[in-house]
């Protein structure tokens, strides 16, 4: 969660709750200080801190905020640890989908220290290549669609160099792309499943349309309501099945793309999607599908988290105004769209 994201959330929540603050968490010591505050709710704007202060966020050993807060019985927004782990590792999430019999494009992973000396014949070109553990379109650019082995090698090397990440190589899906916002109704214990179609400008190198880092940061993709009833049902059914399969809860975003025959395939999950008004597909999907504005959306997410807490009686969730809410973020930080 960037400064822009947290300031927007802060402004809204301070209109409704008496104690709303931001905690910048860069290490375990910061997380311990947050727990010492014993807030009624933590609004998660990040997933983990490094277990060792000498390590970067790219290190293997992590302290997951959701797991740590569970230990201290502190309520937080959104999903628990397993869903965040799968959101962070795109290959693991795709494998979970396959294990559950759900559609996702064929793929394999090349580790950043692995030398790829010959093509993997299990997949045919063109292929799509992206980092396994980056959000916001990071690592996705005009070279992400590769048509031969030399292009594949070059893109894998650039991901390893620029992002210190493994590469996910998957079958390129040439069809339409959808982003599906999922939001739980606390009183009915059901989910609103809200798809929108995203149409990126054609890539100036290949002509293909996909959501690169440049497109996401500039917010230039076209957003279209899904009006085809059958297509909407197929996309929403897959999205909700993926949401359950990955152990997500309360809210999140599922990205889906069609193959050449029009079959929906799971791309990736984001348990902490961008929540900036007018930016990012989650708020747009809420508005286009059910007319839920930005402020209502944020308050809805907060109430879902408070309903699991031990500090606030469930009967008071709709009217309470004295809750202590802490928004977590890194510094510096980038939005994950």
Q: Could you give the domains of the chain?
A: 92-104+174-290 (3.30.470.20), 107-171 (3.30.1490)
pLDDT at 110 over 90: yes
What is the pLDDT of the chain when averaged over all its residues?
Answer: 88
The C-alpha angle 91, 96, 101, rounded to 5 degrees, equals 125
pLDDT band at residue 213 using 50, 70 and 90 as cut-offs: low
Of the two residues 133 and 214, the one the predictor is more confident about is 133
**Greater model confidence, 117 or 74:** 74
- The answer, yes or no, to whether residue 139 has pLDDT greater than 80, is yes
Percent of the chain whose predicted confidence (pLDDT) is above 90: 68
What value does the mean pLDDT take over residues 240-246? 98
252 pLDDT higher than 90: yes
* Cα gap 121→173, rounded to integer Å: 18
What three-state secondary structure class fits 128? strand
Question: In this predicted structure, what is the pLDDT of residue 117?
Answer: 83
List, in order, residues 6 or more apart from 192 with CB less than 8 Å away.
181, 182, 183, 184, 185, 286, 289, 290
Helix, strand, coil percentages in the chain from 3-state DSSP, rounded to 5: 35, 25, 45
Q: Is 138 helix (H, G, I), strand (E, B) or coil?
A: coil
Residue 210 burial (C-beta neighbours within 10 Å; 0-12, 13-18, 19+): buried
**DSSP helix/strand/coil, 193:** strand
53-to-41, 50, 62, 63, 164 alpha-carbon distances in Å: 25, 6, 10, 11, 19
User: In the prediction, which pLDDT does 2 show?
Assistant: 72
pLDDT for 311: 58
What pTM, to 2 d.p., does this model score?
Answer: 0.90
- Residues 252, 245, 95: CA angle, nearest 5 degrees: 105
Of 53-57, 128-132, 286-290, 307-311, least confident by mean pLDDT is: 53-57
User: Per residue in 172-182, pLDDT tens?
Assistant: 999 999 999 99
- The mean pLDDT value for 208-214 works out to 76
Residues 6+ apart with CB under 8 A from 115: none
Tokens of 139: 């690592």
Question: Tell me, what's the pLDDT at 89?
Answer: 95
């Amino acid at each position: 969660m960037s400064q822009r994201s947290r300031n927007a959330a802060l402004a809204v929540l301070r209109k409704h709750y008496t104690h709303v603050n931001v905690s910048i968490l860069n290490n375990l010591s910061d997380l311990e200080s947050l727990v010492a505050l014993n807030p009624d709710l933590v609004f998660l704007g990040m997933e983990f801190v490094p277990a060792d202060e000498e390590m970067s966020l790219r290190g293997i050993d992590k302290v997951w905020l959701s797991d740590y807060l569970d230990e201290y019985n502190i309520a937080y927004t959104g999903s628990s640890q397993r869903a965040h782990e799968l959101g962070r590792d795109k290959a693991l999430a795709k494998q979970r989908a396959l294990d559950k019999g759900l559609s996702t494009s064929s793929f394999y992973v090349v580790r950043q220290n692995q030398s790829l000396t010959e093509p993997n014949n299990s997949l045919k070109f063109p292929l799509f290549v992206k980092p396994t553990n980056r959000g916001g379109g990071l690592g996705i650019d005009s070279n992400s669609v590769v048509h031969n082995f030399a292009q594949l090698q070059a893109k894998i090397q650039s991901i390893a160099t620029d992002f210190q990440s493994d590469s996910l190589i998957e079958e390129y899906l040439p069809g339409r792309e959808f982003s599906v916002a999922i939001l739980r109704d606390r009183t009915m214990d059901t989910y609103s499943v809200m798809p929108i179609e995203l149409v990126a400008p054609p890539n100036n190198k290949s002509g293909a349309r996909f959501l690169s880092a440049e497109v996401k940061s500039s917010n230039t993709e076209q957003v279209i309501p899904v009006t085809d009833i059958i297509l909407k049902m197929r996309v929403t059914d897959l999205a909700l099945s993926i949401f359950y399969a990955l152990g997500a809860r309360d809210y999140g975003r599922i990205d889906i793309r069609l193959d050449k025959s029009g079959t929906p395939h799971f791309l990736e999950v984001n348990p902490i999607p961008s929540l900036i008004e007018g930016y990012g597909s989650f708020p747009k999907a809420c508005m286009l599908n059910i007319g839920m504005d930005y402020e209502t959306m944020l308050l809805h997410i907060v109430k879902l988290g408070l309903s699991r807490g031990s500090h606030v009686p469930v009967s008071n969730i709709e009217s309470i105004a004295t809750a202590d809410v802490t928004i977590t973020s890194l510094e510096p930080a980038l939005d994950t769209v």
